[in-house]
Amino acid sequence: MRRSVFPAFFCLLLCAASGSAETFEQLAARATAARDANDIPRALAAYRQALQVKPDWAEGWWFLGTLAYDADQYQQGRDAFTNFVKLDANAAPGWSLLGLCEFETGEPSAALEHIQRGLRLSAGSQNDMEEVLRFHEAMLLTRTGLFDQALGKYIWFARRGIHNPQLLVAIGMAALRQPLLPKDLTGDGPDAAAAAGAAAYAWMGSNFHDADESFRALLARFPSVPNVHYFYASYLLPSRPELAMAELRRELEVNPGSADARAMIALAFLRHDDPASGFPYAKRAAQDGPSTPMAQYIYGLLLSRQGDVYEALGPLETAARLDPANIEYHMALATAYSRAGRPAAARSERLRTLTLAQEDSPRAR
């Protein structure tokens, strides 16, 4: 009877496979050697192979992500850092680099959330990435339409004397309320933004002589660009309210649908104890700007002031939802809830304001 060759054949195959397959330790060592030799393609391939064998290897995901980020392979970097933070949710650098990768892959909402988480986790520590992260945070706030928040973030740069053309353009975009990224500007957009950024930068640094000159130059060169007169009015309002009102009316001539300009006119009337004159502007601002937090806030505030508390809740809730980091909006909503006989909701909003103040204070320092 002839003996079968198949058992011996399969044994040979198994022996050959076991002899050629690399262990995790061998793959990790090969990945490290390639990284040390700056052989990026080989290192990336080796890290991917090692992580297939051991997917809970946090160090491997970290190095795969950083190598991909440095090689401008942002999608691969995003995927690697996503896995890394699943294994170490308190790693500030992981969240930060995840956000930076998402910025490059065109995911602004996720990028903003993760960059801010990285900044919170690293608050109070020495961080070489802080300037880059803060810059991207402010650009993303501008991109999502939270212009006043973005301008507040840029003050950090002015106070430290950080100054470059790219920064001025980005600041100017927030000042002119353009929900874009700098790379999206066309035509005269970069020049107008740079001019507005120069004025804003001087203002942030309390250099009022330079700010006055920069505003004059901005108005002379770009008098018909939307939000130029609004921005100048913002500068004038605290000290020269009459001139500010004139600029706001010029803004409405250039930009008739400006919810921001009408909201600021309403706010100016309120500050001068004349809410009745401001109410029509606030109402129109809320109608024209359903996604404009300030317009919704001032309309809700004036409704509340005149006793229409229940009607005020809608716009105030909208303002707080659109700009959830604005303490003033939550305070106004807490007051309205209290007047409407909703103590639990009022308490929740007051706690929210305390949380926001505690979160922001370490980064402000």
160-212 pLDDT, tens digit per residue, is 999 999 999 999 999 999 999 999 999 999 999 999 999 999 999 999 999 99
Instruction: Identify the pLDDT of residue 360.
Output: 63
CATH 1.25.40.10 domain locations along the chain? 22-121, 257-365
Burial class (CB in 10 A: 0-12, 13-18, 19+), 178: buried
Across 258-282, average pLDDT: 95
Burial class (CB in 10 A: 0-12, 13-18, 19+), 69: buried
Res. 313: pLDDT tops 60? yes
Residue 306's alpha-carbon distances to 230, 267, 275, 313, in angstroms, are 27, 15, 9, 13
Distance, CA of 184 to CA of 355 (rounded, Å):
35
Residue 248's alpha-carbon distances to 57, 142, 148, 217, 360, in angstroms, are 58, 21, 17, 18, 31
Computed over every residue of the chain, the mean pLDDT equals 91
Distance, CA of 219 to CA of 195 (rounded, Å):
9
**Residue showing tokens 């509340």:** 304
**91-138 pLDDT, tens per residue?**
999 999 999 999 999 999 999 999 999 999 988 776 789 999 999 999
Instruction: Identify the pLDDT of residue 126.
Output: 63
CB neighbourhood size of 267 (10 A): 21
Strands in 199-343 per DSSP E = none
* Domain 22-121, second-level architecture: Alpha Horseshoe (1.25)
Instruction: Identify the pLDDT of residue 357.
Output: 87
Region of residue 57 (left: phi > 0; alpha: psi -120 to 50; beta: else)? beta
Tokens of 199: 């004025």
Instruction: Identify the pLDDT of residue 361.
Output: 54
Instruction: Match domain 257-365 to its CATH number in 1.10.10.60, 1.10.3720.10, 1.25.40.10, 1.10.600.10.
Output: 1.25.40.10
